Structures are given as C-alpha cells and as structure tokens.
Structure 1
Amino acid sequence: MAEVNIYDKANELEQTLRESAEYNKIKEQYEKVNANPETKKLFDEFREIQLELQTKQMQGEEISEVDIARAQKSAQEIEQNETIAELMQAEQAMSQLIQDLNRVIMRPLEDIYGSLEENPEGEQ
C-alpha cells in the first residue's frame, strides 16, 4: 500500500472547505458587513469586546459587571443588524461543519480507545 501524506490530504480538505457553500456564505456576508461603514464599525467593536473578554479570561482576570454589560449591549446591537446577524448565522453553520469534520477525524482514536474501554483487560 502506498504511503499517504496526511498533510496533502489536510491541504485538500482546506481547499474543499474554501469551495464549500458554508465558507462562501461567510465570505459573502463578511464582504457585505465591510461594505457599510456603520455596520463594519459595529462589527469591529463587537469583535474587539469579545477579544478583550477572552484575553481576560485566559489570563485569569476577573470579568467585571461593566465588561458584561458592555458585551451584552454590543451583542444586542449586532443582533438587530440584519447583515451582521446573517454573518453570525453563516459562522454558526461553518462551526457546525467543522465540529462534524472533527468528529470524523477523531474516529480512528475513538475506535482504539473505545475498544480498550469495552475490553479493559485487553481480552479478545
């Protein structure tokens, strides 16, 4: 059997993702968001707040009531913006696709460890 270069397969998967409907929907919606200066500003502010909160969380800093209120206000504003809401829906669809792919990719390990859990003594 010929040896398979797993990285070649990963690059093929990347290209396939770039050709997917999910990816192209995100790209289209992101372009729409960026085409409108007000929408872009709103979206950029939302992402900046998200990044700040993630950074604080990763560094073990406490997230204040003010931070939470600011994040909630920003989230409400973007939910009311149809263009951004459509981008977020497209991102959610892509995230689901990636989760599905991750489950497929992890199957070989699940097969190994699943069979070990079913038969912990290594008995046949």
Structure 2
Amino acid sequence: MTVNIYDDINRLDSSFRKTAEFIALEKAVIEMKDDEESLALFKSFRDLQLTLQEKQQQGEEISGEELEHAQKTAQLAQSNAKIESLFVAESNLSGIVEEVNRVLMKPIKSLYEAF
C-alpha cells in the first residue's frame, strides 16, 4: 500500500486555515493593510528585518547605527495597535506551527533515540 502524504498535507492545510488562530491572523493582516500608516510602518519594519538578516547570513557586521535604527523601528511598530495585534496573532499561530513540527519530527527523533 502506497501512502500519499501530499493528500494528508493538503488536508492539514485546509484545517490549518480554519483554526481560530489563522483566522485571527488573517483579520489582523487585513486591518493592518487597511490603515496606510500601519502598512507603511510594517513594510519598513519588515524590509529592515530582511536586510539585517541578509547581512548576518553573509557574515557582514551590523553597525551600531543600523542596530539603533532597527530598535527604533521595532519600538514604533510595537506601539502601533494594528501591528501589535498582528504580532500577537502571529505568535498565537506560531504555537500551532511548532506543535505540528514537533509531531512531524517525532518519528525521526525516535529513530535516533535508539542510539
């Protein structure tokens, strides 16, 4: 008997999108996008994060000035109610993702526990 794991993954995708946590994140994203100021701040915050991550991955040093700018941008983002709601919803959804990952990794972990 052949198992098609992709059918199961597609069912999981469908179930995941129906969770209260995903729906809350979806709502938070829509509300943030509907506010031009929040959207611009979020884009700035996200772009800055990506830029700094790329620098780290390439082994480049992040200057004190860049770090200070990142901290100020993060503080501004966190003080914005719509962005903060998005962060909270994202964090709540992250718990489900971590649990799914834990369950998926369980068989692999059990293989190595035999050593």
What is the CA-CA distance between 1:91 and the residue it aligns to? Answer: 0.7
SS of the aligned residue for 1:63 comes to coil
Residues 68-117 of structure 1: CA distance to partner in whole angstroms, max 9, x if unpaired? 11110011101111111010011111112111110000111112211x13
Instruction: Specify every segment of 5 or more residues in structure 2 that has no aligned partner in the other structure, as ranges.
Output: none
Residues 27-58 of structure 1: CA distance to partner in whole angstroms, max 9, x if unpaired? 10000001011111111100010010111111
Aligned to 2:106: 107
Instruction: Specify every segment of 5 or more residues in structure 1 that has no aligned partner in the other structure, as ranges.
Output: 118-124
In 1, distance between residues paired with 2:22 and 2:58?
31
Aligned to 1:33: 32
After superposition, residues 1-124 of structure 1 pair within 5 angstroms as 2-114=1-113, 116-117=114-115
Runs of 4+ aligned residues of structure 1 deviating over 6 Å after TM superposition are none
SS of the aligned residue for 2:59 comes to coil
Which structure has the larger Rg?
1
TM-score normalised by length of structure 2: 0.95
Higher RCO, 1 vs 2 (CA within 8 Å, ≥6 residues apart)? 2
User: Which AA in structure 2 matches 1:96?
Assistant: G
In 1, distance between residues paired with 2:44 and 2:34?
16
The share of aligned pairs that are identical, in percent, is 38
In 2, distance between residues paired with 1:37 and 1:107?
43
What is the CA-CA distance between 1:3 and the residue it aligns to? Answer: 2.5
SS of the aligned residue for 1:60 comes to coil
TM-score normalised by length of structure 1: 0.88
